[in-house]
Amino acid sequence: MNQLEQTVGLIRDVIAVELLGTYLHGSAALGRLAPASDLDVLAVTRRSLDHRRRCALVEGLLKISGCTPTVRPVELTIVVQSEVRPWRFPPTGDFLFGEWLRDELQTGGPPRPGPMPDLALLLTVALAGARPLTGPPLARLLDPVPHADLIRASVAGIPELLAELNDDTRNVLLTLARIWTTLATGEIRSKDAAADWALALLPPRHRPVLEHARNLYLTCHYQDEVWDDGLKAQVRPHVDEVLSRIDDLRHHA
């Protein structure tokens, strides 16, 4: 049984009759899985999970998910249908598991419901990708996210992204390119497609770091990536250029 089947089976077993459907989103829905891509799964439920179910999901996901050449990280997001339909911003997420939360979940207990602005992006990708794993087409359960809230969610995460620039350079650069692309085109593209779009518009001096980030994304795992000193010195000027393009779009929206 592969990881996706294990994940869907776990969700079905734990949530049972409260489960409305499970859906693939993220890289797999936008195009294809890169070497370091997460398996991104969305589950829609009738009501909020109780503590027992939250603990059972975390326990199961800690065994299924990983970051090795043969085991992908699993990201599971759960929403209660009535919390996002009718739509309001910021939306409430009921449960979130990801490898970056592993230590926190092991020491602090299962995730609780809370505001999750980037659900606007996640749900948009999931609705566009139309990849149900169980249940009806997602469009039967959820309404489209208004374009204005898609933009709000895109820019809301920029400060948090910038805080991770040194530790997660590849992902931050690609995500900023995607934000710029989304503001300019209204579309959410895969990370490599967003990088291609941005590279065509950037001055030559600001292209090398994004080209490198794109190549890393397509070819290697995080633990195998290398940034030489010359590229590192170009990262912040590149980011400032992209942020200026994003600000221009925001001010003229």
Give backbone dihedrals phi and psi of 98, rounded to 5 degrees, phi first.
-155, 160
Query: In this structure, are residues 21 and 44 in contact, taking their beta carbons and an 8 Å threshold?
Result: yes
* From 5, 18, 59, 75, active-site residue: 75
Give backbone dihedrals phi and psi of 46, rounded to 5 degrees, phi first.
-80, -35
Is residue 40 exposed (0-12), middle (13-18) or buried (19+ Cβ within 10 Å)?
buried
The DSSP H or E segment spanning 47 is none
Rg over CA atoms, the chain: 18
Per the annotation, the verdict on 75 as an active-site residue is yes
Query: In this structure, are residues 96 and 77 in contact, taking their beta carbons and an 8 Å threshold?
Result: yes
Cα separation, 75 vs 20, whole angstroms: 18
Cα separation, 120 vs 148, whole angstroms: 10
Total residue length of the chain: 253
Structure tokens at 220: 């290697």
- Catalytic positions: 75
